[in-house]
Amino acid sequence: MIESFNNKLFNKYSQFPVEKLIEGLEKVFAQDIDINIVFVKPREIKRLNKDYRGVNSVTDVLSFPLDTKGEVYICPRYVKREFKKDKFSEEILRLSIHGILHLLGYEHKGKFEEGNREEMFDIQEEKVKEVLNLLNGKMYLIVGLGNPGEEYDGNRHNVGYLSLERLEEILKKEDFKTNGWKNEKIFDSITNIFEKNVGGNIKVVLLKPTTFMNNSGMAVRKVLKKYKVLDFSKELIIIHDDLDIPLGQYKIQLEKSPKGHNGVKSIEDHLGTTNFLRVRIGIENRNEKKIPGEKYVLMNFTEDEKVTLYQAIDSALDQLLLNLN
């Protein structure tokens, strides 16, 4: 966990939310570390510099490893002398990363300047770019639920898979770049990553769990960790079939799902939350509901039903992308 303190000293010189900066640092440094980033006045960092380094002067950053938690001290007023507006926030980010790398055991001999290729400074700038990309961009993990295997391809229960295939076509038309579907066995999933740069990087990860429906949560939890998704309510979207909604209709809702959907329940159980967006595609088309639900969802759509289904899927995806934009 990374926490910041005395944030008012940062906010005095920057309109950028310090909370977002810390969130970006946590995503990039996804290790089991506890670090406090403490903003201090010039006289305080001068005292620390003198007491612990024997240097009687103000500096920009100091870091101290403690027993259970490292601390990084930064002087915003000192940084403000050289860096204005957006460059100020970027330099605070750079100094935070510099201090964290020291706590992780990295050292350097020279100063940070153009042409210095010391390992620590190379890693520092890579991390700065990673965090800036996260802060300036958007990332969505869109999961389509279904069962793997050709025998399930046309099932009503595989609407999530079908929806991702339609979404793939839409994203390509919107000039998103992709290298296609990839089977990631270690994550129990097939993924397709789309990226586009429009004033900030946008990444959309399409995910088909390769576990069976009842274990969908296993794959989702693994991939969430891989892509460092923290805010489920904004970054995680589940697309699934819904027996509570008639064929041809859909609903896009936060936290609301059909009670008997085992795939959605598995995700909720593995994540320990219901706070994510669901795209609920209706599949109910039984006249008298004589066919049990668990059997009905494993039946294939008729050709006429497919026409109605895909119209609903396309409408749902159009609304979803509009909402995300």
Pair 155, 131 in one domain: no
Pair 105, 149 in one domain: no
Per DSSP, 299 falls in state S
Pair 150, 162 in one domain: yes
- Are the beta carbons of 33 and 66 closer than 8 angstroms? no
Q: pLDDT digit string (tens) for 106-123?
A: 888 877 776 777 788 888
Question: Which of 157, 240, 261, 270 is flagged as catalytic?
Answer: 157
Pair 130, 278 in one domain: no
Pair 19, 82 in one domain: yes
Per DSSP, 202 falls in state E
Could you list the residue range(s) of the whole structural domain that residue 218 is in?
138-324
What is residue 193's predicted lDDT score, i.e. its pLDDT?
A: 94
Pair 171, 315 in one domain: yes
What is the domain count for the chain? 2
Pair 202, 307 in one domain: yes
Helices (H), the chain: 7-11, 18-28, 42-53, 76-80, 85-103, 119-136, 159-173, 216-226, 232-235, 262-271, 293-296, 303-324
Q: Which two tokens stand for residue 60?
A: 């920009």
Q: Report the Cα–Cα distance between both ends of the chain, in Å, rounded.
A: 30
Pair 118, 170 in one domain: no
Pair 263, 193 in one domain: yes
What is residue 109's predicted lDDT score, i.e. its pLDDT?
A: 81
Is 157 noted as a catalytic residue in this protein? Answer: yes
What is residue 234's predicted lDDT score, i.e. its pLDDT?
A: 86
CATH number at residue 178: 3.40.50.1470
Q: pLDDT digit string (tens) for 149-196?
A: 999 998 999 999 999 999 999 999 988 999 899 999 999 999 999 988
> Which regions in the chain score pLDDT beneath 70?
32, 114, 198-200, 325
Look-up of token digits 């895909």: 310
- Are the beta carbons of 235 and 139 closer than 8 angstroms? yes
What is residue 130's predicted lDDT score, i.e. its pLDDT?
A: 83
Boundary of a domain, candidates 96, 113, 135: 135
Q: CB within 8 A of 10, min separation 6: which ones?
A: 4, 18, 39, 76, 92
Q: Which two tokens stand for residue 114?
A: 């153009």
Pair 64, 31 in one domain: yes
Identify which of 35, 37, 55 has the alpha carbon closest to the alpha carbon of residue 47. 55
What is residue 33's predicted lDDT score, i.e. its pLDDT?
A: 77
What is residue 119's predicted lDDT score, i.e. its pLDDT?
A: 87
Helices (H), 137-235: 159-173, 216-226, 232-235
What is residue 227's predicted lDDT score, i.e. its pLDDT?
A: 80
What is residue 260's predicted lDDT score, i.e. its pLDDT?
A: 82
What is residue 28's predicted lDDT score, i.e. its pLDDT?
A: 84
Boundary of a domain, candidates 119, 135, 151: 135
Pair 124, 146 in one domain: no
0.75 surpassed by pTM: no
What is residue 298's predicted lDDT score, i.e. its pLDDT?
A: 93
Boundary of a domain, candidates 108, 135, 162: 135
